[in-house]
């Protein structure tokens, strides 16, 4: 019998059971008053039934064993029995917490005990030569991933969806190994995926049921165990490289790891307890900058999918190419999450956005902003990355061998010449938040001078023996793309966010969709102390009406101002230009006063 048929059947059966079992559990949870009620540290605003994890657990356990028995592969469940039994224990621990609310410290002790039992049965990572190190790291890995999915369960469909994506790539990594027989992990994962899809239909925004700790701890524990060597995780031909062995499970589970690390770090920097919940996760910050809840979840799905694809690529690409792809992806992640870190979600001052008392903050500000150390360190990554990539492209992925010694000899010269050119031509004088085309011209000049200088120095020292002239052209293009993208990252991410009014601010309309309107818009977006939430523009130029300006709609002219104010509940109108005739100004004042709307000009004061 074809393994693919067994996997598809197991998935379909699990999906159908979960699809019908989840609403039944939801009904019983509501009847028994097992619901998650709104709280200050929770995202949802209405009571939602809990115990969705019960549906996932029973679907997985029952369908997995039945599928193995029906198709005559019951012996295949034996290697994963320790994982299933320990998973049952972690599920029961979470279920008791859902029903009775266990102390976090006691819950952590239980997780460590269960993880230790699983490790005893051979579910260990195989990252180091030392067995002791592998054993200790395995316990931390299993407990960490278990709690990462628990923390990730902070928005409708997020934790279950990320688990689904991670499980899918784990499944693909197994079946792509070329083994043409039924083996434990893929069959287990097929049922696991089906149970998640059936549950996710009811859990995706707007959710009608939550999985609770019983579900989030359970799926995190299973995925952690399935990324250990006992489950037969396939890491491909590059598995002899420690980087590959580490990268594949980490990339597959990258988003829960990243979100947990990010939230823990931000809470620590803000002087808050890591164990106390809050609306400060990556998803919450995306909503705060303008994305809808559904969009924020889908963005994190996309990141999880890209991470999984990179994990799959590592098993098939050379180490050099894999390294380039991973570094570029991590740079994008760093820039994106730095922007999320700047979102104010705490009443306390944060080390990232404020200079407050303490020894670390002034040092942080001094190094990253005044000294430009961060930009220099970034370029110390971008320059070698561009130069290495140019070798890979020029020599069609075979930069090792005879070409590698030449790369190593010339790299210090390229880095030194390029950094000297950056300093000389003022690359480090720009402000990323306000970067524009004039800055791009500076980048072109600096990269060109640095590239030519590096080529001339190499020519003088090595007489270009073994060097490729084309390589420097490729290097120039790659570095130009990397430097420009990095400097524009703040603006690109900011512009990608939907232009919608923020909650809590006075809904504001700008009169004048021109240069003055752009200045006012920027001041409203950047100065949160104004307490304004921009809705859009009005302009008397008919060519601008019913269009978008800087991402915001231009509703019409002053003739329909009353209708716009009433429709969009405007409480503030700001005039963006000074040369308004007295008659028009008086007319605006009269109309706004009649509707109880404040009319003003936003004066930008330079102190």
Residue 74 has pLDDT above 60, yes or no: yes
Output 187 or 13, whichever has higher pLDDT.
13
Last residue of a domain, one of 459, 477, 494: 494
Lowest mean pLDDT among 11-25, 28-42, 512-526, 555-569: 28-42
Residue 595 sits in a domain whose CATH number is 3.40.50.720
Structural domains counted in the chain: 3
CA angle 499, 504, 506 (to 5 degrees): 75
Residue 22 has pLDDT above 80, yes or no: yes
Give 602's pLDDT tier (boundaries 50, 70, 90).
Answer: low
Q: For residue 346, which phi and psi values (nearest 5 degrees)?
A: -115, 145
pLDDT of res. 362: 44
Give 163's pLDDT tier (boundaries 50, 70, 90).
Answer: very high
Residue 139 maps to a domain: yes
Residue 232 has pLDDT above 80, yes or no: no
CB-CB contact of 558 with 511 (8 Å): yes
pLDDT (mean) for 20-41: 83
Residue 363 maps to a domain: no
Residue 171 maps to a domain: yes
Give Cα 372 distance to the centre of its chain.
26
The tokens of 409 are what? 């000899």
Same domain, 521 and 469: no
Helix ranges restricted to H, 315-426:
319-341, 360-365, 373-394, 403-424
Separation of alpha carbons 566 and 585, rounded Å: 20
CA angle 529, 533, 534 (to 5 degrees): 125
Per cent of the chain over pLDDT 90 is 32
Same domain, 135 and 66: yes
Q: In what order do the strands lie in the sheet with 532-538?
A: 532-538, 506-511, 572-575, 598-601
* pLDDT per position as a tens digit, 235-279: 444 444 555 566 778 888 899 999 888 888 887 777 777 766 667
pLDDT of res. 605: 42
Residue 588 maps to a domain: yes
Lowest mean pLDDT among 27-36, 272-281, 287-296, 384-393: 272-281
Lowest mean pLDDT among 32-46, 78-92, 359-373, 539-553: 359-373
Structural element, H or E, at residue 598: strand 598-601
* pLDDT per position as a tens digit, 88-137: 999 999 999 988 888 888 899 999 999 999 999 989 887 777 888 889 99
Residue 436 maps to a domain: yes
Give 529's pLDDT tier (boundaries 50, 70, 90).
Answer: confident
Same domain, 190 and 223: yes
Q: How many CA atoms lie within 13 A of 380 on its CB side?
A: 6
Mean pLDDT of the chain: 82
Query: What is the DSSP-derived secondary structure letter of residue 330?
Result: H
Same domain, 541 and 564: yes
Residue 506 has pLDDT above 50, yes or no: yes
Output 458 or 192, whichever has higher pLDDT.
192
Output 126 or 572, whichever has higher pLDDT.
572
Last residue of a domain, one of 431, 460, 494: 494
Residue 422's closest CA among 457, 454, 391? 454
Question: Rounded to whole angstroms, what are the CA distances from 266 to 242, 274, 281, 296?
Answer: 30, 9, 9, 19
* pLDDT per position as a tens digit, 456-493: 888 888 775 656 778 889 999 999 999 999 888 877 77
Same domain, 322 and 177: yes
Residue 164 maps to a domain: yes
Residue 93 maps to a domain: yes
Same domain, 239 and 144: yes
Last residue of a domain, one of 291, 319, 341: 341
Same domain, 64 and 146: yes
Give 524's pLDDT tier (boundaries 50, 70, 90).
Answer: confident
* pLDDT per position as a tens digit, 347-381: 655 544 444 444 444 444 444 444 577 888 889 99
pLDDT (mean) for 189-203: 95
Output the pTM of the full model. Answer: 0.80
Domain membership of residue 319 as a residue range:
3-341
Q: Residue-wise over 206-238: b if at least 16 C-beta within 10 A, else e? A: ebbbbbbbbbbbbbbbbbbbbbbbbbbbbbbeb
pLDDT of res. 238: 41
Same domain, 317 and 426: no
Residue 57 has pLDDT above 80, yes or no: yes
Same domain, 33 and 149: yes
Same domain, 399 and 320: no
Give 595's pLDDT tier (boundaries 50, 70, 90).
Answer: confident
pLDDT (mean) for 76-98: 90
Same domain, 490 and 524: no
Residue 318 maps to a domain: yes
Same domain, 490 and 507: no
pLDDT of res. 408: 83
pLDDT of res. 371: 53
């Amino acid at each position: 019998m074809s393994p693919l048929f067994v996997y598809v059947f197991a998935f379909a059966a699990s999906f159908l059971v979960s699809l019908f079992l989840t609403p039944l559990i939801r009904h019983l949870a509501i009847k028994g008053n097992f619901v998650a009620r709104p709280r200050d540290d929770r995202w949802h605003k209405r009571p939602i039934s809990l115990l969705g994890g019960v549906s996932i657990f029973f679907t997985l356990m029952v369908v997995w064993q039945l599928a193995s028995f029906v198709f005559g592969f019951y012996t295949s469940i034996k290697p994963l029995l320790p994982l299933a039994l320990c998973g049952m224990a972690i599920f029961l621990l979470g279920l008791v917490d859902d029903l009775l609310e266990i102390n976090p410290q006691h819950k952590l002790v239980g997780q460590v005990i269960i993880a230790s039992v699983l490790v005893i049965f051979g579910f260990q990572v195989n990252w180091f030569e030392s067995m002791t190190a592998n054993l200790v790291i395995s316990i931390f890995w299993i407990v960490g991933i278990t709690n990462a999915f628990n923390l990730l369960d902070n928005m409708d469909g997020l934790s279950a969806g990320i688990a689904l994506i991670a499980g899918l790539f784990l499944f693909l990594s197994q079946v792509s190994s070329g083994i043409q027989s039924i083996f434990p992990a893929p069959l287990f994962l097929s049922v696991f995926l089906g149970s998640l899809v059936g549950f996710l239909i009811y859990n995706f925004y707007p959710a009608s049921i939550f999985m609770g700790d019983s579900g989030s701890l359970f799926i995190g524990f299973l995925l952690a165990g399935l990324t250990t060597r006992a489950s037969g995780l396939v890491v491909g031909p590059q598995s002899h490289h420690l980087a590959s062995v580490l990268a594949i499970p980490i990339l597959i589970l990258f988003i829960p790891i990243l979100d947990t690390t990010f939230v823990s770090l931000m809470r620590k920097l803000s002087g808050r307890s890591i164990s106390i919940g809050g609306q400060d996760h990556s998803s919450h910050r995306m909503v705060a900058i303008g994305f809808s809840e559904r969009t924020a979840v889908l963005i994190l799905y996309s990141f999880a999918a890209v991470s999984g694809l990179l994990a799959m690529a590592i098993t098939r690409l050379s180490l050099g190419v894999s390294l380039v792809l991973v570094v570029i992806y991590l740079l994008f992640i760093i820039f994106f999450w730095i922007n999320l870190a700047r979102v104010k979600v705490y009443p306390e001052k944060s080390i990232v956005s404020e200079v407050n008392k303490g020894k670390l903050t002034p040092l942080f500000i001094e190094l990253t902003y005044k000294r430009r150390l961060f930009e220099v360190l970034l370029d110390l990554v971008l320059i070698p990355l561009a130069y290495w990539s140019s070798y890979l492209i020029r020599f069609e992925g075979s930069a090792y061998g005879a070409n590698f010694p030449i790369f190593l000899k010339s790299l210090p010269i390229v880095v030194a010449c390029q950094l000297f050119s950056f300093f000389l031509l003022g690359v480090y004088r720009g402000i990323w938040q306000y970067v524009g085309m004039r800055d791009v011209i500076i980048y072109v000049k600096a990269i060109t001078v640095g590239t030519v200088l590096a080529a001339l120095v190499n020519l003088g020292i090595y007489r270009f023996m073994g060097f490729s002239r084309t390589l420097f052209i490729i290097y120039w293009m790659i570095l130009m793309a990397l430097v420009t993208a990095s400097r524009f990252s703040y603006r690109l991410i900011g512009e990608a966010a939907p232009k919608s009014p923020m909650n809590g601010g006075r809904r504001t309309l700008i009169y004048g969709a021109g240069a003055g309107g752009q200045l006012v818009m920027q001041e409203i977006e950047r100065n949160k102390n104004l307490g304004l939430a921009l809705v859009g523009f009005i302009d008397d130029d008919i060519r601008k009406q019913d269009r978008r300006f800087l991402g915001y709609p231009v509703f019409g002219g002053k003739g329909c101002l009353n209708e716009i104010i009433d429709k969009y509940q405007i409480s503030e109108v700001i005039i963006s230009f000074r040369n308004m005739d007295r008659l028009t100004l008086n007319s605006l004042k009269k109309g706004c006063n009649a509707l109880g709307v404040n009319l003003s000009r936003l004066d930008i004061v330079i102190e």
